[in-house]
Each structure stands twice: as C-alpha cells, then as structure tokens.
C-alpha cells in the first residue's frame, strides 16, 4: 500500500507568490489584562501560559467556513500572530525579535462551551481550541510587528473587540523568550500572542474582519 501524501500547512506572504510553511502553532493565554479579568483571572499574578493548535488548523482569509461541529457557543479572539524564521532554546529577550519572519492578523476560534466543560472537569482544552479550521490567519507581512498600534475585530461591521498592542502583559520578544524555556523553537513556528477584551459569540452567517496595525485585514465568514 502506498504511503499517503500529506501537504504541509502554509500561509500567504504579502507581495510574493511564495507561502510560509507552518511547523507548529503556539498560543498565549490571557495576555491582555482586560481579557484576563473578563475570564475571571488576576493579570497581576499570572505568568504566561501556553497551549497549542495543530498546524493544519490554519486557514487563509477570504474564506467561508463551515460552522464547527459540537458547539453552541463559538467565540472569536482576534490576535497578533508572529511567524518565526529562526529558533532555539533559552533565547534571550534581546535576541528574540531577530527570529521573527513576519506577522499577521489571526483568529483564535474557541468552542467556549467545550472549554468550560473541560475546565470544570479538570480536563485538557484540546477539543475547544485545536479543532479543524480553528486558526484563520491573514497574509504575513514580513518584518517585526509594531510594539504599539490598534488591534480590533468587527462582526457584520459592528465593533466587538478593540485594544492596542502595547496593552499586552508580555510583549512579543518576552513571549518568544519565555516559550523557548519550554520548547526548542524552530523556523515555521507560529505564535498567537493574546487577545484584548470583548470576546464573544459568532453566529451562523456572520462576517468577521480582524485588524492588526501594519498587517493586512483578515476576512472570514461562516456558512448560514
């Protein structure tokens, strides 16, 4: 029996037909103080924590997505995503920005009802965060992301999330450095860097626009 051919997940890159190969996806939880509070946490006492999504959760913008199965409470979380062209372990904060290939607007889609059930039972969040097409990401802008600037999300033209990148509890170089104490970061790794307050439900038929300063808008819609 022949071995299956599995194409790697890739992301579009602004200004070129080339595509960025995705190796792994890491996500930072509750990295904006206002979002940490709306989720019932104390941001003044919390170091960054991380979870993952599978690489093939990536989906390009401009896509109509099927509404995910097994949820009645799908939530949006707009995030700055950084893509790495270098890596290592125990990376100094001062060296971290030099490992960044580019950045983009992304959505950490969350089956909030499944997450709540998992938390209550003390179980992993995998099926709440790592499901199919749970990581829509816009085209990568090559270079280092801005340290400040707007991050926002609208649904059907109505504002839902709005903040600034300098509201992060841990900034991008600090996130990279801290994550590298847990894993050996490699080229192709993506990092979702957290979401501001205002997370909430997505309904069938909704059209979302995610915006991050300096990056191309991310547009996705959900089938009715």
Q: Which of 78, 76, 30, 81 is nearest to 189 (CA)?
A: 81
Q: How far apart are CA 83 and CA 187, in angstroms?
A: 8
The β-bridge partners of 52 are 26
**Average pLDDT across the chain, whole number:** 95
| Percent over 70 (pLDDT), the chain | 95
* Best CA proximity match to 214, nearest among 136, 137, 135, 150: 150
CATH class of 23-222: alpha beta
Kindly calculate the radius of gyration of the chain based on its CA atoms and give it in whole angstroms: 17
Nearest to 58 by CA among 106, 16, 7: 106
Q: Residues of the chain with pLDDT > 90: what percent? A: 92
The 3-state DSSP class for residue 93 equals helix
Quick one: CA dihedral 73, 164, 146, 172, positive or negative? negative
Q: For residue 121, give the 3-state DSSP assignment.
A: helix
- The structure tokens 């749970």 sit at 134
Residue with tokens 């995503």: 81
From residue 31, alpha-carbon distances to 19, 90, 215 in Å are 28, 20, 20
For 174-208, how does the pLDDT look when each residue is reduced to its tens digit (9 = 90+)? 999 999 999 999 999 999 999 999 999 999 999 99
Give the count of alpha carbons within 13 A of 7, CB side only.
Answer: 6
pLDDT over threshold 70, residue 87:
yes
Q: What is the dihedral of CA 81, 85, 91, 95, to 10 degrees?
A: -90
- Percent helix, strand and coil across the chain, each rounded to 5? 20, 40, 40
d(CA 137, CA 212): 11
Q: What integer pLDDT is reported at residue 45 of this predicted model?
A: 56
- What are the backbone dihedrals phi and psi of residue 55, each rounded to the nearest 5 degrees, phi first? -55, -35
Query: 89-143 pLDDT, tens per residue?
Result: 999 999 999 999 999 999 999 999 999 999 999 999 999 999 999 999 999 999 9
Q: Grade residue 39 by pLDDT with cuts at 50, 70 and 90.
A: low
């Amino acid at each position: 029996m022949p071995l299956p051919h599995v194409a790697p997940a890739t992301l579009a890159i602004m200004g070129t037909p080339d595509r960025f190969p995705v190796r792994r996806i890491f996500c930072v939880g509750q990295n904006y103080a206002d979002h940490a509070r709306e989720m019932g946490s104390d941001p003044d006492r919390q170091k960054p924590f991380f979870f993952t999504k599978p690489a093939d959760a990536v989906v390009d913008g401009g896509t109509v997505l099927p509404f995910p199965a097994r949820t009645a409470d799908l939530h949006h979380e707009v995030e700055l995503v950084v893509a790495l062209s270098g890596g290592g372990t125990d990376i100094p904060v001062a060296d971290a920005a030099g490992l960044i290939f580019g950045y983009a607007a992304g959505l950490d889609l969350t089956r909030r009802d499944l997450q709540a059930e998992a938390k209550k039972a003390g179980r992993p969040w995998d099926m709440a965060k790592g499901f199919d097409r749970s990581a829509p990401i816009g085209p990568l802008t090559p270079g280092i992301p801005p340290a400040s600037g707007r991050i926002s999300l609208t649904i059907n033209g109505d504002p839902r999330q709005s903040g600034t990148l300098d509201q992060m509890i841990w900034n991008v170089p600090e996130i990279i450095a801290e994550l590298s104490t847990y894993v050996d970061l490699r080229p192709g790794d993506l990092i979702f860097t957290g979401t501001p307050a205002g997370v909430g439900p997505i309904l069938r038929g909704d059209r979302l626009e995610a915006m991050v300063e300096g990056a191309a808008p991310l547009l996705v819609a959900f089938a009715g």
